[in-house]
Amino acid sequence: MNNEFNIAVIGLGQIGSYLFNELNNKKKDILNKTGKKINVVAVSAKNKNKKRSFKINNKIFYSNPLEIIKKKKINILFEAIGLSDGISKKIVEMALKNKIHVITPNKALISKHGDYLSKLAEKNKVNLEFEASVGGGIPILRTIKEGLATNKISKVYGILNGTSNYILSEMETTKNSFEDVLKKAQSLGYAEPGNPKLDLNGYDALAKVKILSSLSFNNKISNSKYLMEGIENIEYKDIDIVDQLNYRIKLLGITEIVNNQLFERVHPCLVKKNTYIGNVNGVMNAVILEGKPVGESVLQGEGAGPGPTSSALMSDLLSILRGNIKYPFGISDKKRKKVKIYNINNYSNPLYLRLEVKDKPGVLSTITKQLAKYNISVKRLIQLPDHKKKTASIAIITHDANELNSKKCIKSFRANKNIIKSPVLIRLF
Amino acid sequence: MNNEFNIAVIGLGQIGSYLFNELNNKKKDILNKTGKKINVVAVSAKNKNKKRSFKINNKIFYSNPLEIIKKKKINILFEAIGLSDGISKKIVEMALKNKIHVITPNKALISKHGDYLSKLAEKNKVNLEFEASVGGGIPILRTIKEGLATNKISKVYGILNGTSNYILSEMETTKNSFEDVLKKAQSLGYAEPGNPKLDLNGYDALAKVKILSSLSFNNKISNSKYLMEGIENIEYKDIDIVDQLNYRIKLLGITEIVNNQLFERVHPCLVKKNTYIGNVNGVMNAVILEGKPVGESVLQGEGAGPGPTSSALMSDLLSILRGNIKYPFGISDKKRKKVKIYNINNYSNPLYLRLEVKDKPGVLSTITKQLAKYNISVKRLIQLPDHKKKTASIAIITHDANELNSKKCIKSFRANKNIIKSPVLIRLF
């Protein structure tokens, strides 16, 4: 049996660098726990001379990662570049074809090419591990694949994007605008300085939802028409209004099986302040699973940053070193089924609406008429006049409203000349 | 490679019966996930004719479980009797010696004989799995052994006994006495009708703490002098008083490394109402781990009952079927070290004290004098007179108080004739 494992680390950004140090510092611990010796024999990075906490040894550095596979005997490869395609996909593909185990935190790659890559891993009898792609340090994928292995999971939801959660929490606490808080998040390293878009528009959370669905329900990764909304349009005003109604706004990722159909979505939600999920603040991530017979399980932890991510990458490494050769998605590719996608137009749910209107007689009546036309009934309504501007904010909590109807209703509001801004719609959870 | 596994289930109480049904119902799912076929070929129970949801097949029933090992070819044995010694220990011992994998939810057995039994398992190259012994359906042991495998864990704590937590929550909500709520818990099946003692005096939680310590810190199971207090002496009065101070009372199990020494304890704690742990109510269990580099991780789920327990037992089964032969405590028995035990007398912590006193001049002054003598300084003091009885309750929150000093002080309070009941002491968390 092979007791020495050669390792390559591709990408030496924040995560790759942290991992590289961990691999070197924990050699003895790993030997204790697995009986296996590891050696980092190759690294690759776009910019060799970037400032790092360690000096790169020339003997193990390759500017082209594909060279590594040709020139060195590698057993396990870490992909820490992070693209959904291009060199990230190429190096993972090449590694698997050469019977090299792959570990990656890359949710973009897995949520796009996971089906293909897992098939490749199975065919070549190596592992493709991606624990770090969802929930940072929370071992959520391992928990679904192993800890809750024989449960019938019906729903998984949670706070999957630490950046969005930090921004929403901070807006509430500081009463600052989205723009101001985003700048702070960027200066603290919680949001990408260049392009925070994928965190804020729901894309990052949706990639994680797709991975969670596949593992929980044993289906192929969906590429359906989905409901993906981010937090870019949330104003402090909304946070303030819902606060008075005892709610908080959270960006949730949700996946569930409804009538044997898969319903995946990411959007801001109004959650009650006294619920568990309403109290997960800051950069924390939390995942809640509903399963039988286990009941409700909750996992919470730091969702981002090189420390937690590295913890997850190392757990994948130990799993491989212990000889746990496993299907990347828990069951064989052949047994993973395509599921029917739930038609979002059939979805009914209470809504929060905020309309900015001209403050004059008859406006409220035209609004309630429009709501009634689309079968949307009002549960609570608050009118907040701004006397200086002669405008008012009208905040409405509705009873269950059909998604298609509410789309049509919002469209009709946009045509209403007394409504002076595009309406805000947030779903209740 | 062996693709069929013969299984024996020893004990058909609540848990064993639920498990038996799960094993039969999930055969296909297990085949899908592991490629292995399972057959339950033997069961044993004290009372064959007890009312169960299924009829016991005579061909697989053995009144003496030890016979099973002699007469049948068994690969995996579930021990679901639950004693720390006697037949529970005997059957596990015999199974391991005969190279049969063992799965058990038995925390009494593992916390007492875990070192010996894990050595036996290692020697015979089979698994000894006990995920279900801690935290019911929460895959906490697997998370420590695998999901957080290379983290340096410094502290683990949480709500480990669902019965105690249910009683404390219910006392707060209903304002009923401990005795009344205990009766309700028994009628709902949350507490043993005959002997709830092990749940309520902290023993059950301490067994779990010992298992958590061993896995988190890689030490042998401790059998130290410990701090074990239950909830039997908590009165509604205490819940009411601390409520006004914005605290809740929770029975916590805590293990941590202090100056390279192991400090394990179970006792009621005052926890702030706005903390995570302060909001885990009812029969829920929750475990919080502090580790590097992962940061703080939280796991929460239903802590008891045959469903969650069975979920954990099945996850152990799948781990074995997938061929994950592992050290029961994560590392080899030889590498698990004996740790020095922290001397509880050196522990300093703020305290809540409640004294029932005669309501007459000078009493408060003798109390504060006694406190001062033992270096215990008062942070808050509330006096609640009962004019009818001419008595008063004095509730005190102290600054950090040394454990040895506070023991001496309580002793001196007992000798104070103006203090009419044994003082209540609850530590702050």
Domains and CATH numbers, chain B: 149-301 (3.30.360.10), 345-428 (3.30.70.260)
Q: Which residues of A touch B326 (CB under 8 A)?
A: 322
pLDDT tens track for A127-145: 999 999 999 889 999 999 9
| Cα distance between residue A141 and residue B146, in whole Å | 12
CB contact under 8 A, A311 and B148: yes
CA dihedral B323, B329, B335, B341 (to 10 degrees): 180
pLDDT band at B225 (very low <50, low <70, confident <90, very high): low
3-state helix, strand, coil in chain B (%, to 5): 40, 25, 35
Question: In the 8-state DSSP scheme, what is residue A279?
Answer: G
| Cα distance between residue A146 and residue B145, in whole Å | 12
Residue with tokens 């410094």: B154
Q: Which residues of B touch A276 (CB under 8 A)?
A: 279, 300
DSSP per residue, A126-195 = --EE-GGGSSTTS-HHHIIIIITTT-EEEEEEEE--HHHHHHHHHHHHH---HHHHHHHHHHTTSS-SS-
Q: Which residues contact A178 (CB under 8 A, 6 or more apart)?
A: A167, A171, A231, A232, A234, A235, A236
CB contact under 8 A, B148 and A139: yes
Q: Which residues contact A342 (CB under 8 A, 6 or more apart)?
A: A258, A259, A261, A262, A263
Whether the CB-CB separation of B181 and B242 falls below 8 Å is answered with: no
Q: Which residues of B touch A33 (CB under 8 A)?
A: 149-150, 330-331
Q: Which residues of A touch B298 (CB under 8 A)?
A: 286, 298-301
Q: Which residues of B touch A127 (CB under 8 A)?
A: none
Q: Which of A202, A189, A13 is nearest to A111 (CA)?
A: A202
B279: contact with A, CB 8 A cutoff = yes
A344: contact with B, CB 8 A cutoff = no
Whether the CB-CB separation of A75 and A7 falls below 8 Å is answered with: yes
B386: contact with A, CB 8 A cutoff = no
Helix, strand, or coil here: A289?
strand
List, in sequence order, every residue forming a beta bridge with A66; answer none if it has no partner: none
Whether the CB-CB separation of A200 and A185 falls below 8 Å is answered with: no
List, in sequence order, every residue forming a beta bridge with A7; answer none if it has no partner: A40, A76
Q: State the pLDDT at residue B136.
A: 86
C-alpha radius of gyration, chain B, whole number: 24
Question: Of the listed B36, B119, B145, B208, which one is catalytic?
Answer: B208
Q: Which of A141, A146, A152, A173 to mutate to test the interface with B (most CBs of B within 10 A)?
A: A146
Q: Say which of B148, B286, B301 has its CB closest to residue A294.
A: B301
Q: Which of A272, A280, A320, A285 is nearest to A127 (CA)?
A: A320
A293: contact with B, CB 8 A cutoff = yes
B127: contact with A, CB 8 A cutoff = no
Q: In what order do the strands lie in the sheet with A101-103?
A: A61-62, A37-44, A4-10, A76-79, A101-103, A128-129
| Cα distance between residue B174 and residue B183, in whole Å | 13
Q: Measure in Å the smallest separation between the Cα of B340 and chain A Cα atoms.
A: 21
Residue with tokens 């192929």: A220
CA separation, residue A105 to residues A110, A130, A308 (Å):
9, 5, 11
Q: Which residues of A touch B295 (CB under 8 A)?
A: 137, 301-302, 307-308
pLDDT tens track for B27-80: 999 999 999 999 999 999 998 988 888 899 999 999 999 999 999 999 999 999
B281: contact with A, CB 8 A cutoff = no
Q: State the pLDDT at residue A212.
A: 98
Residue B192, pLDDT above cutoff 80: no
Q: Which of residues 135-154 of A touch B (CB under 8 A)?
A: 137-139, 142-143, 146-151
Q: What angle do CA A96, A100, A106 make, to 5 degrees?
A: 65
Tokens describing residue A17: 């660098």
Helices B306-321/B14-25 angle, 10° precision: 50
Q: Which of B112, B331, B226, B309 is nearest to A148 (CA)?
A: B309
Chain A residue closest in CA terms to B136: A294
CB contact under 8 A, A298 and B300: yes
Give the number of A-B residue pairs with CB atoms closer than 8 Å: 164
| Cα distance between residue B37 and residue B27, in whole Å | 7
Helix, strand, or coil here: B154?
strand
Helices A27-34/A306-321 angle, 10° precision: 40
A208 is catalytic: yes
| Cα distance between residue A395 and residue B296, in whole Å | 38
pLDDT tens track for B379-421: 999 999 999 999 999 999 999 999 999 999 999 999 999 999 9
Name the amino acid, one letter, at B313. Answer: L
Helix, strand, or coil here: A312?
helix
Q: Measure in Å the smallest separation between the Cα of A101 and chain B Cα atoms.
A: 17
Q: Which of A143, A290, A313 to mutate to test the interface with B (most CBs of B within 10 A)?
A: A143
Q: State the pLDDT at residue A191.
A: 77
Poorest-pLDDT segment among B64-68, B220-224, B237-241: B220-224
pLDDT band at B210 (very low <50, low <70, confident <90, very high): very high
Q: State the pLDDT at residue A406.
A: 96
Q: State the pLDDT at residue B175.
A: 96
B295: contact with A, CB 8 A cutoff = yes
Query: Over pLDDT 70: what percentage of chain B?
Result: 99
CB contact under 8 A, B149 and A315: yes
Q: Measure in Å the smallest separation between the Cα of A161 and chain B Cα atoms.
A: 16
CB contact under 8 A, B148 and A131: no
Residue-by-residue pLDDT tens, chain A, 429 positions: 579 999 999 999 999 999 999 999 999 999 999 999 999 999 999 989 888 888 999 999 999 999 999 999 999 999 999 999 999 999 999 999 999 999 999 999 999 999 999 999 999 999 999 999 999 889 999 999 999 989 999 999 999 999 999 999 999 999 999 999 999 988 887 877 667 888 999 999 999 999 999 999 999 999 876 799 999 999 999 999 999 999 999 999 999 999 999 999 999 999 999 889 999 999 899 999 999 999 999 999 988 789 999 999 999 999 999 988 789 999 999 999 999 999 999 999 999 999 999 999 999 999 999 999 999 999 999 999 999 999 999 999 999 999 999 999 999 999 999 999 999 999 999
| Cα distance between residue A313 and residue A426, in whole Å | 35
DSSP per residue, A357-386 = EE-STTHHHHHHHHHHHTT--EEEEEEEEE
CB contact under 8 A, B335 and A32: yes
Question: Of the listed A89, A145, A208, A250, which one is catalytic?
Answer: A208
CB contact under 8 A, A151 and B330: no
Whether the CB-CB separation of A336 and A152 falls below 8 Å is answered with: no
Whether the CB-CB separation of B88 and B82 falls below 8 Å is answered with: yes
CB contact under 8 A, B33 and A331: yes
Q: Measure in Å the smallest separation between the Cα of B153 and chain A Cα atoms.
A: 12
pLDDT tens track for B164-189: 999 999 999 999 999 999 999 988 87
Q: Say which of B139, B295, B307 has its CB closest to residue A307.
A: B295
| Cα distance between residue A62 and residue A87, in whole Å | 14
Residue B1, pLDDT above cutoff 60: no
Q: Which residues of B touch A314 (CB under 8 A)?
A: 149-150
3-state helix, strand, coil in chain A (%, to 5): 40, 25, 35
Within 13 A of A98's CA, how many CA atoms are on the CB side? 20
Whether the CB-CB separation of B14 and B48 falls below 8 Å is answered with: no
| Cα distance between residue B81 and residue A307, in whole Å | 42
B291: contact with A, CB 8 A cutoff = yes
| Cα distance between residue B48 and residue A272, in whole Å | 49
Name the amino acid, one letter, at B75. Answer: N
Q: Measure in Å the smallest separation between the Cα of B235 and chain A Cα atoms.
A: 26
Q: State the pLDDT at residue A112.
A: 96
CB contact under 8 A, B297 and A138: yes
Whether the CB-CB separation of B146 and B319 falls below 8 Å is answered with: no
CA separation, residue A27 to residues A3, A21, A389, B292 (Å):
13, 10, 66, 16
Helix, strand, or coil here: A24?
helix
Mean pLDDT confidence for B264-286: 94
Q: Say which of B22, B149, B295 has its CB closest to residue A33.
A: B149
Backbone phi and psi for residue B428, each to the nearest 5 degrees, phi listed first: -80, 150
Mean pLDDT confidence for B249-266: 96
CB contact under 8 A, B298 and A297: no
- Mean pLDDT for chain B? 94
Q: Measure in Å the smallest separation between the Cα of B224 and chain A Cα atoms.
A: 26
Q: Measure in Å the smallest separation between the Cα of B298 and chain A Cα atoms.
A: 5
